[in-house]
Amino acid sequence: MKKWKIALVPGDGIGPEVVAEGVKVLQAIEKLDNTLSFEFERFPWGCEYYIEHQKMMADDGIEQLKEFDAIYLGAVGYPGVPDHISLWDLLLKIRKGFDQYVNLRPVRLLNEELTPIKNKSEKDIDFLVIRENSEGEYAGAGDWLFKGKKEEVVLQTGVFSRKGTERIIRYAFEEARKQQKSLTSISKANALNYSMVFWDEVFEEVGKEYPDVKTESYLVDAASMFFVMQPERFEIVVTSNLFGDILTDIGAAITGGMGLATGANVNPERNYPSMFEPVHGSAPDIAGQGIANPIAAIWSVAQMLEHFGEEEWGSVVVETIKEIIDEKKVLTPDLGGKHSTSEVGDYFVEKIAGKLHHK
Ligand code: NAD
Ligand code: IPM
Ligand code: MN
């Protein structure tokens, strides 16, 4: 029996609402498969915790999370606590603390009716964005000079180390080789005359070791257009932290919205736990109403299962999501349905229980 220890960090707003449904799914799988078991521990960290304790997580929070096999996170950030504090002291602290330098964000259309783009089908929108997740524009390096004076200057420095840039690009080449897919680097060397010139050089250098991988290189502005106009151009994409953040919200938009997009924050060396979370945030505009779409969070469960080596279950979860979407019977309002977050979760469990899993 394989036993996986999962730390739950539901966080803020709709975070706890959607994480509850992902947990339901894991518990359903555990019941169906007697070779698997999941143990959960819940950490109440987030903005409410901050208001009570003046900190986003326990002082030894990173230490506490270290012993887990995975972290399952909802969303962080809520009006009342400045975003740069809440995110830097919890979400980004975990990504950095555990060197989760690979962010895997699939952009996959499950049903052509979900895309706002005309004449695009499931085969046209099916790619993986590999986002650098540890440095770049998110290095936290900068300065705020002459605050409030007329000479005021603010610097936000992008940090691109050789180690950090090479490892993400190498990871992407390995993935492209494994999947026999093309690899597109998205950068911006025409304007960012240090960081992205360096990025492009590293991409070219590392690429020499992978003559079997077909490569493309785009500027991020043009790539944003192609994400929308010709998404079929992309198979595997590698890009910097900030570009990856922005591009994957476009990815969400072309595949059905924020309620469906998932991301895995991976430490490939497995020195530390990896973290699985929806791409969306705490959605204060709909929090507390029980109408958040739990599918993105459930898709994160699929990524977690794949990470555990349970690829078969990962596929079952994604297939079941597709079935539910195709049926159009039990969906939340963002997808035109009338059902609640927990009704979608319950329906998912009902469907998955109907499947026999042979080991
Ligand atoms: P958001 O993703 O929370 O919401 C954007 C829009 O998408 C909203 O209209 C929202 O209702 C909708 N939406 C998001 N998830 C949905 C779901 N599951 N079902 C249905 N609709 C959904 O982005 P935002 O409003 O820019 O940010 C809100 C807060 O969340 C901010 O504090 C932000 O910093 C934080 N945030 C956190 C994360 C994270 O923890 N990973 C990610 C993004 C934003
Ligand atoms: C995401 C989020 C985070 C990011 C924020 C909340 C710091 O937008 O995971 O996409 O920018 O990485
Ligand atoms: Mn984002």
Is 221 a known active-site residue? yes
The CA 250 to ligand 1 mean position distance, Å, reads 14
Residue 252 makes CB contacts below 8 A (sequence gap 6+) with: 107, 258, 260, 261, 279, 280
Which residue in the list 2, 163, 214, 221 is annotated as catalytic? 221
- Ligand 1 atom with the smallest distance to the CA of 277 is 41
Ligand nearest to the CA of 95: 2
pTM exceeds 0.95, yes or no: yes
Q: Is the CB of 298 under 6 A from ligand 2?
A: no
The token pair that represents 93 in the structure block:
């602290």
Which pLDDT belongs to residue 125? 98
Q: 21 near 342, Cβ under 8 Å?
A: yes
Smallest CA-to-CA distance from 243 within 112, 105, 358, 354 is with 105
Q: What is the DSSP letter of 104?
A: E
The token pair that represents 324 in the structure block:
């539910």
Q: Is the CB of 94 under 6 A from ligand 2?
A: no
Print burial letters for 159-169: b (CB count within 10 Å at least 16), e (below 16): bbeeebbebbb
The residue nearest atom 38 of ligand 1, judged by CA position, is 281
Which pLDDT belongs to residue 356? 63
The token pair that represents 44 in the structure block:
């109440």
The CA 140 to ligand 2 mean position distance, Å, reads 14
The CA 131 to ligand 2 mean position distance, Å, reads 11
DSSP code per residue over 165-233: HHHHHHHHHHHHHHHT--EEEEE-TTT-TTHHHHHHHHHHHHHTT-TTS-EEEEEHHHHHHHHHH-GGG
The token pair that represents 95 in the structure block:
């990504």
Q: 220 near 188, Cβ under 8 Å?
A: yes
Which residue in the list 99, 249, 334, 346 is annotated as catalytic? 249
Is 249 a known active-site residue? yes
User: In the block, which residue shows the tokens 């591009």?
Assistant: 247
Which pLDDT belongs to residue 358? 46
The CA 249 to ligand 2 mean position distance, Å, reads 10
Under DSSP, is residue 274 helix (H, G, I), strand (E, B) or coil?
strand
Backbone angles phi and psi of 157, in degrees to 5: -90, 130
Task: Please list the pLDDT of the chain residue by residue as tens digits (359 residues).
Answer: 899 999 999 999 999 999 999 999 999 999 999 999 999 999 999 999 999 999 999 999 999 999 999 999 999 999 999 999 999 999 999 999 999 999 999 999 999 999 999 999 999 999 999 999 999 999 999 999 999 999 999 999 999 999 999 999 999 999 999 999 999 999 999 999 999 999 999 999 999 999 999 999 999 999 999 999 999 999 999 999 999 999 999 999 999 999 999 999 999 999 999 999 999 999 999 999 999 999 999 999 999 999 999 999 999 999 999 999 999 999 999 999 999 999 999 999 999 998 765 44
The CA 244 to ligand 2 mean position distance, Å, reads 10
d(CA 18, CA 22): 7
Domains in the chain and their CATH numbers?
1-110+258-359 (3.40.718.10), 116-255 (3.40.718.10)
Neighbours of 274 (CB within 10 A): 23
What pairing do the DSSP bridges indicate for beta strands 2-11 and 70-75? parallel
Is 138 a known active-site residue? yes
Q: Is the CB of 316 under 6 A from ligand 2?
A: no
Q: Can you point out the beta strands (E) in the chain?
A: 2-11, 36-42, 70-75, 102-108, 126-132, 136-145, 153-159, 183-187, 215-219, 236-239, 262-266, 274-278
Q: 207 near 173, Cβ under 8 Å?
A: yes
The best mutation among 12, 258, 299, 335 to test binding of ligand 1, ranked by most ligand atoms within 8 Å of the C-beta, falls on 258
Which pLDDT belongs to residue 355? 78
